[in-house]
């Protein structure tokens, strides 16, 4: 359970799993991506709507044998660059960078005390706040994406639940006290080692005001959401899923993976595919 390997894809690459007896050099991507359908975009509106077909994801290829069938573990450079960890944070000893016995991923290991510095994705928690047909957005006063609009959200801290963290961030960034209604979305962004967890929430009262990290907070009517000035792909996806659900008449929980287009700029928030879109 505590041991893990790096797995970034199911496509061709170096097979390093100890437990695979065959190397699949040319296995194809077996996940089905949901399609990004911009057909409903009208030239007169900045709003972008896409349609998602919920998909299932599988670790095997239909019809192939069970061994070749198994996931192909591919070692690639990750968002958390282990080679930047040069010292042990507990004893100060210099680290070496090796794949530990029984593991399959490069780690920073202390040459004095032997401890391993594991790197794990971080959760970003936030609220999609509904109020009388409007949603609350914050204009960022910090980098990255200074001056662009976002949902109140930030890193989850040790010692709090995701819902508590989402309410804290809402207080810090929008000065708003909210009631969390339900989970709305989990969106993984493997490239940068982040997972967004967004809750639907409602204002307890009409008092809100920008905190130090926000320039402005505003309630936007649904047809006025500034899709051309959003801060992050995750926010773009969340708001589109929300509008899509409203159009269908029912809000649901969404799980998905945001894969940024290779080589695209971080500021190009539409350069992504939403893959492995799953719903309960």
Residues marked as binding? 169, 173
- Min separation Cβ 217 and its own copies, Å: 13
Taking the least distance from each CB to its own copies, the nearer of 50 and 184 is: 184
Partners of 178 in the beta sheet? 203
Taking the least distance from each CB to its own copies, the nearer of 252 and 270 is: 252
CA–CA dist 144, 165 (Å, integer): 20
CA–CA dist 153, 173 (Å, integer): 8
Q: Does 60 bind its own copies (CB under 8 A)?
A: yes
- Min separation Cβ 109 and its own copies, Å: 12
Q: CA of 60: how far to CAs of 11, 22, 103, in Å? A: 11, 14, 22
Q: Does 142 bind its own copies (CB under 8 A)?
A: yes
CA–CA dist 133, 12 (Å, integer): 47
Residues of the binding site for Mg(2+): 169, 173
Taking the least distance from each CB to its own copies, the nearer of 74 and 135 is: 74
Taking the least distance from each CB to its own copies, the nearer of 225 and 235 is: 235
- Min separation Cβ 41 and its own copies, Å: 27
Taking the least distance from each CB to its own copies, the nearer of 6 and 51 is: 6
Q: Does 172 bind its own copies (CB under 8 A)?
A: yes
- Which of 121, 134, 220, 226 is the binder for its own copies (CB under 8 A)? 121
Within positions 11 to 40, which residues make up the interface with its own copies, using CB under 8 A? 17, 19
Residue 211 CB partners (closer than 8 Å, separation 6+): 171, 172, 173, 174, 175
- Which of 158, 248, 262, 265 is the binder for its own copies (CB under 8 A)? 158
Within positions 71 to 110, which residues make up the interface with its own copies, using CB under 8 A? 71, 73, 76, 78-80, 84-92, 94-95, 102, 105, 108
Q: Does 150 bind its own copies (CB under 8 A)?
A: yes
Q: Does 219 bind its own copies (CB under 8 A)?
A: no
Taking the least distance from each CB to its own copies, the nearer of 19 and 248 is: 19
Q: Does 2 bind its own copies (CB under 8 A)?
A: yes
Q: Residues 180, 201: contact at Cβ < 8 Å? A: yes
Q: How far is CA 3 from the centre of its chain?
A: 23
Within positions 234 to 273, which residues make up the interface with its own copies, using CB under 8 A? 251-253, 255, 257
CA–CA dist 23, 14 (Å, integer): 8
Q: Residues 168, 180: contact at Cβ < 8 Å? A: no
Q: State the Cα angle at 144 between 138 and 147, rounded to 5°.
A: 40
Residue spans of beta strands (DSSP E) within 132-203:
134-140, 149-150, 153-155, 178-189, 194-203
């Amino acid at each position: 359970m505590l041991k893990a390997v790096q797995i970034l894809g199911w496509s061709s690459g170096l097979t390093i799993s100890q437990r695979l007896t065959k190397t699949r050099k040319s296995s194809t991507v077996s996940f089905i991506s949901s399609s990004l359908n911009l057909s409903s975009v009208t030239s007169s509106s900045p709003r972008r709507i896409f349609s998602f077909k919920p998909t299932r994801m599988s670790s095997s290829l239909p019809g192939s044998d069970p061994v070749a069938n198994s996931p192909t573990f591919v070692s690639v450079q990750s968002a958390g660059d282990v080679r930047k960890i040069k010292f042990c944070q507990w004893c100060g000893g210099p680290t070496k960078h090796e794949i530990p016995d029984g593991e399959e991923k490069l780690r920073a290991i202390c040459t004095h005390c032997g401890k391993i510095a594991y790197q794990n994705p971080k959760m970003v928690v936030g609220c999609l706040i509904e109020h009388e047909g409007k949603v609350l957005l914050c204009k960022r006063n910090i980098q990255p994406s200074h001056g662009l609009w976002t949902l109140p959200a930030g890193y989850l801290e040790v010692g709090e639940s995701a819902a508590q963290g989402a309410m804290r961030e809402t207080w810090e960034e929008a000065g708003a006290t909210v009631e969390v209604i339900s989970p709305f979305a989990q969106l993984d962004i493997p490239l940068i080692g982040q997972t967004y967890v967004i809750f639907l929430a409602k204002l307890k009262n009409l008092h809100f005001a920008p905190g130090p990290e926000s320039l402005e907070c505003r309630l936007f009517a649904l047809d006025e959401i500034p899709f051309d000035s959003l801060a992050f792909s995750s926010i773009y996806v969340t708001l589109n899923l929300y509008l899509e659900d409203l159009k269908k008449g029912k809000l649901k929980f969404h799980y998905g993976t945001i894969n940024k287009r290779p080589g695209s700029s971080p500021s190009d928030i539409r350069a992504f595919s939403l893959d492995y879109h799953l719903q309960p």
